[in-house]
């Protein structure tokens, strides 16, 4: 049975080994708060790198759990979104954030196009290429891959509490997204959100680059961070999501490439994961 080999690039990405015939690929765009030493934490206090502005707290652990459940490959970033955000198009004005959730990022405040391009070449494009290579390896087995992207969101924003335990962010392709929403909504102890606390569908983001243009079935899942901060919480959510995904990903409707729509041009920037 063909397998996708584990690979590790200190700067940009990690690929978790998995079976190509699983048909699944898990992604984690914001897995870590890592910033190479030469960037001097972008001038930030170390405590800022423990916040959501630097990475999606808990998302990496849930992604690893899901990869184990399905013996599926996963691709995780190895750099903080404060350096450059891989869930943006290269021409997105929020690709490198100068202010994030009220925090000024000194190392980004006066960044110019040459430094942005250096970060694209060192961090963004190798991560993007690792996703593309992993998806291509699954296509080579004769079936389109199913992509599940993992993110997390803060329990509150600007003093407003967020009630959802888990949400699904999507646009255009309803196949896995709607089925997963319906499945999660069947659990009486969960408050499930749809396109909350962020709206779905932006030109150039990870799902747009790798799924909408190719027609691969996909879902982007957000979990509230206080539920997955501990290893035990993250593992429990990995178990829970695996239980919901397992019957869904066997549906033959997901095992074909179908295009439902595409973004002809970038949308005006709104709330983003």
Does 264 fall in a domain?
Answer: no
The answer as to whether 266 is a domain residue is no
pLDDT for 266 equals: 44
Q: What is the DSSP letter of 46?
A: G
Q: What is the domain-level CATH number for residue 48?
A: 3.40.630.40
Provide φ and ψ at 124, rounded to 5°: -65, -55
Name the packing angle between helices 231-249 and 59-70 (round to 10°).
50
**Contact residues for 78 (Cβ-Cβ < 8 A; gap 6+):** 9, 10, 11, 12, 13, 14, 31, 32, 34, 123, 127
Q: Tokens in use for 262?
A: 């595409």
Per-residue pLDDT tens listing for the chain (273 residues): 799 999 999 999 999 999 999 999 999 999 999 999 999 999 999 999 999 999 999 999 999 999 999 999 999 999 999 999 999 999 999 999 999 888 899 999 999 999 999 999 999 999 999 999 999 999 999 999 999 999 999 999 888 899 999 999 998 999 999 999 999 999 999 999 999 998 887 889 999 999 998 999 999 999 999 999 999 999 999 999 999 999 999 999 999 999 887 655 444 444 455
Q: Can you tell me the distance from the alpha carbon of 260 to that of 127, in angstroms, rounded to the nearest whole number? A: 26
Give the distance from CA 231 to its chain's centroid.
19
Structural domain contains residue 48: yes
Instruction: Report how far residue 117's alpha carbon sits from residue 163's, in angstroms, rounded to the nearest whole number.
Output: 39
The domain tally of the chain equals 1
265 lies in a domain?
no
270 within a domain of the structure (yes/no): no
267 lies in some domain: no
User: Quick check: is 194 in a domain?
Assistant: yes
- 162 token code pair: 């967020």
Whether residue 261 is contained in a domain is answered as no
Q: 222: closest CA among 148, 150, 147, 272? A: 150
The tally of CA atoms less than 13 A away on the side-chain side of residue 209 is 21
For residue 153, the enclosing domain spans 3-254
Task: Give the number of C-alpha atoms closer than 13 A to the C-alpha of residue 181, restricted to the C-beta side.
Answer: 17
């Amino acid at each position: 049975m063909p397998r996708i080999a584990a690979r590790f690039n200190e700067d940009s990405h990690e690929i978790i080994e998995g079976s190509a015939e699983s048909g699944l690929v898990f992604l984690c765009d914001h897995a870590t708060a890592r910033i190479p030493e030469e960037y001097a934490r972008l001038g930030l206090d170390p405590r800022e790198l423990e916040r959501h502005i630097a990475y999606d707290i808990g998302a990496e652990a849930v992604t690893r759990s899901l990869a184990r459940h399905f013996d599926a490959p996963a691709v995780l970033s190895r750099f903080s979104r404060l350096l450059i955000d891989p869930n943006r198009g290269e021409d997105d004005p929020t690709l490198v954030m100068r202010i994030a959730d009220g925090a000024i990022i000194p190392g980004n405040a006066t960044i110019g196009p040459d430094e942005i391009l250096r970060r694209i070449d060192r961090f963004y494009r190798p991560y993007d290429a690792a996703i593309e290579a992993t998806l291509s390896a699954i296509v080579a087995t004769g079936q389109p891959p199913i992509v599940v992207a993992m993110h997390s969101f803060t329990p509150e924003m600007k003093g407003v509490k967020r009630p959802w335990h888990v949400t699904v962010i999507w646009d255009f392709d309803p196949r896995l997204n709607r089925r997963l929403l319906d499945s999660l909504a069947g659990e009486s102890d969960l408050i499930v959100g749809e396109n909350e606390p962020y709206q779905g569908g932006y030109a150039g983001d990870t799902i747009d680059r790798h799924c909408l243009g190719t027609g691969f079935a996909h879902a982007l899942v957000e979990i509230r961070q206080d539920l997955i901060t501990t290893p035990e919480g993250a593992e429990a959510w990995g178990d829970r999501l695996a239980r919901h995904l397992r019957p869904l990903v066997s549906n033959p409707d997901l095992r074909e490439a179908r295009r439902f729509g595409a973004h002809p041009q970038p949308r005006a920037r709104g709330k983003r994961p």
